[in-house]
Structure 1
Amino acid sequence: MKGVLLVNLGSPDSPTAKDVKPYLDEFLMDPRVIDVPKWLRNIIVRGIILQTRPKKSAEAYQKIWWEEGSPLIVISERFSEKVSKHVEIPVALGMRYGSMTIKNAIQSLIDKGVDEVLLVPLYPQYAMSSFETVVVKAMEVQQQYFPNIQITTLPAFYKNEAYIKVLSESIAEGLKGFEYDHILFSYHGIPERHIRKSDPTKFHCKIDQSCCTTNSVAHHTCYRHQCFDTTRRVIEYLGIDADKFSISFQSRLPNDPWLKPFTDFEFVRLAKEGKKRLAVITPAFVADCLETLEEIAMEGKHQFEEAGGEAYKHIACLNDSDAWVKVMADWIKSWHATEALPA
């Protein structure tokens, strides 16, 4: 019997330093997130970051926490429940980090008679610190606890026509009534070395002006290319002029080269260049979370207005919209009936 496992990032159990600390420890000790030798990762994470970050992160979570719980968890649960009503096979939800484990989610599917699982990392673009770590963790859990089940992974869907359509139409809906000067596509940042590590050719990804637009097998696992390609397809669908948009990357750790330009720098640059009315979309996420609700919707607005901007619009992620639910349900139905996966 077939079943589906949806997996997103995860969240602490509460917006307190006590619960944020173990969550950050699990997240940042992942070798695909901070990819340095374990002894050095221990020093960076447990010796430095976890001494101060949990309190600061807890304060950020408190700003966006809902009565029902973590927005990412609540939205993901709503999405999972809606999808399950549109398909004939069991659907489970797990998180890469935190208490909603992948192991428990797979067990819930097995309890319903499932022995063949479609793993759906809820990330449009491929990155070793998001998509890849979900797949690796799921396979580790499968080998250790559930050797008799089969797992098939839905590929990164950054250029899938149905996804681009639903994303573009969601952006258009979010822009209604807002006359913008500029649209900023802000993607989650990653270290530049992650791009090179994910390059199967070991020579194509130079992170320059041309490698992401020069056709290569490396693009199958190149986060930077996939961010650019998602943006290109959306602006073509919506007919946005080339001088009306730009791309940036948010979130980073210090003392390490990360993808540029940085989103917070772009807020200032755009305002100082006379862009008074800014819309921001975050297409690396399918569900609103700390990074979109606090870093972009709240802090981004403040940074843009402090630099001279006058109007700021954060456009929500796809979340549990009916159109996005239908796209996911259609992919699942296709796999259930024919084993076909979206291109």
Structure 2
Amino acid sequence: MSRKEVYAHKPYFCTLNSDAVKKGVLLVNLGSPDSPTPKDVKPYLDEFLMDERVIDVNPVLRNIIVRGIILQTRPKRSAEAYSKIWWPEGSPLIIISERFAKKVREQTKMPVALGMRYGSMSIKKGLQQLAEKGVDEVLLVPLYPHYAMSSYETVVVKAMEDQKKYFPKMKLTTLPAFYANPDYIKVLSKSIVDGLKDFEYDHLLFSYHGIPERHIRKNDPTNYHCKIDDRCCFVNSVAHHTCYRHQCYTTTELLKKELALDPEKVSSSFQSRLAGDPWLKPYTDYEFERLAKEGKKRLAVITPAFVSDCLETLEEIAMEGKHQFMEAGGTDYIHIPCLNDRDDWAALMAKWVNEWEADGILPV
């Protein structure tokens, strides 16, 4: 599917309500291996890394990189990381997403299904659950606040492909990226206040998931605006609708304003990069060292690119991040949890889906 087709489906289009259709909701998160073992982690990583919107290189080269190199060693290391954060009930991301879906379901009359972009809990299965309940119009909800080709966009593309192939009579409408929605900012702000309770920080770091710089340029519909410098993200442009970097910085700025944060005590960074091409900077792990060496002894970290805690937040930030900061000279460190299944977050999502069901209105 071409990027032009994806853009044509962008969520700024909404569908008017009709009594002739039955509506439903499909919540979609990233996914997880079935267990924290190399046997289950390997096929999960294969599906994830072979996605052309994650490793966006020639298919032959991608096959060599992923199956010839990465999958020879990484499943074991990733399984060890998953083992550190695995819950008795299963994958934290899956369990949290299920709890969130249950709370949303309790606050709407529509059927609400849950799917994952990768892994056995697929988007197709989620659409099938809705189809079996007679749903013929679906609100697709990528559980990502920001637009990126390797997260939000790939969910939309996969859902469109599965819908056309398996459910041709079903209609999809997509929830917009909600990174700047005022109600979302208020809920996220409240979660930060709750997370900082009784913790006096020297610095508050907003750590967003990293992506290659080339993804920013590929998603620039103007082909010239995104220069990834200190200016382009703050000069108004249609490119901002699909610019992950701009959207991350916007979230930080809105939270700073909502919480009246001291700008000298707040910064943004990007985590989870792979070796090779340049990724968005500054890098979170470098920031841990820099901040500690600058005398910021008490650090709080929030990960606003995720709505559910997962490997990248629980292991990389809450565990490894703390170790890196302490090794560099820090003394106190906390990771503020993601929104997860907070009651106010579930209520906000229910409000959005109910407004869509009643009037075809989508949040902006």
Q: TM-score, normalised by structure 1?
A: 1.00
User: 1:158-209 CA deviation, whole Å, 9 max, x = no partner?
Assistant: 0001100000110011001000000000000000000000000000000001
Answer yes or no: is 1:237 the counterpart of 2:272.
no
Match of 1:172 in 2: 193
Map 1:64-143 onto structure 2 (within 5 A): 64-143=85-164
Select the residue among 279, 282, 286 that pairs with 1:261. 282
Q: In structure 1, how many angstroms separate the alpha carbons of the residues matched to 2:74 and 2:283?
A: 21
Match of 1:40 in 2: 61
Q: In structure 1, how many angstroms separate the alpha carbons of the residues matched to 2:134 and 2:163?
A: 16
Q: In structure 1, how many angstroms separate the alpha carbons of the residues matched to 2:314 and 2:276?
A: 26
Q: How many residues end up aligned between the 2 structures? A: 343
1:21 is displaced (CA, Å) by: 0.2
Map 1:182-261 onto structure 2 (within 5 A): 182-261=203-282
1:260 is displaced (CA, Å) by: 0.5
Q: In structure 1, how many angstroms separate the alpha carbons of the residues matched to 2:196 and 2:223?
A: 41
User: 1:297-336 CA deviation, whole Å, 9 max, x = no partner?
Assistant: 0000000000000000100000000000010000001000
Map 1:155-170 onto structure 2 (within 5 A): 155-170=176-191
Match of 2:15 in 1: none
Aligned with 2:30: secondary structure? strand
Match of 1:278 in 2: 299
Select the residue among 319, 329, 343 that pairs with 1:308. 329
1:255 is displaced (CA, Å) by: 1.6
Q: In structure 2, how many angstroms separate the alpha carbons of the residues matched to 1:266 and 1:98?
A: 32
1:134 is displaced (CA, Å) by: 0.1
Segments of 4+ moved more than 3 angstroms? none
1:24 is displaced (CA, Å) by: 0.1
List runs of 5+ in structure 1 lacking aligned partners: none
Match of 2:8 in 1: none
Answer yes or no: is 1:151 the counterpart of 2:196.
no
Match of 2:6 in 1: none
Select the residue among 13, 17, 25 that pairs with 2:46. 25
Q: In structure 1, how many angstroms separate the alpha carbons of the residues matched to 2:42 and 2:121?
A: 16
Match of 1:289 in 2: 310
Residue type at the aligned position of 1:181: D
Q: In structure 1, how many angstroms separate the alpha carbons of the residues matched to 2:252 and 2:193?
A: 14
Map 1:3-18 onto structure 2 (within 5 A): 3-18=24-39
Map 1:319-334 onto structure 2 (within 5 A): 319-334=340-355
Match of 2:19 in 1: none
Residue type at the aligned position of 1:319: N
List runs of 5+ in structure 2 lacking aligned partners: 1-21
Q: In structure 1, how many angstroms separate the alpha carbons of the residues matched to 2:276 and 2:258?
A: 38
Q: In structure 2, how many angstroms separate the alpha carbons of the residues matched to 1:74 and 1:242?
A: 36
1:256 is displaced (CA, Å) by: 1.1
Residue type at the aligned position of 1:13: D
Residue type at the aligned position of 2:200: E
1:93 is displaced (CA, Å) by: 0.1
The alignment's C-alpha RMSD in Å is: 0.3
Q: In structure 2, how many angstroms separate the alpha carbons of the residues matched to 1:126 and 1:37?
A: 23
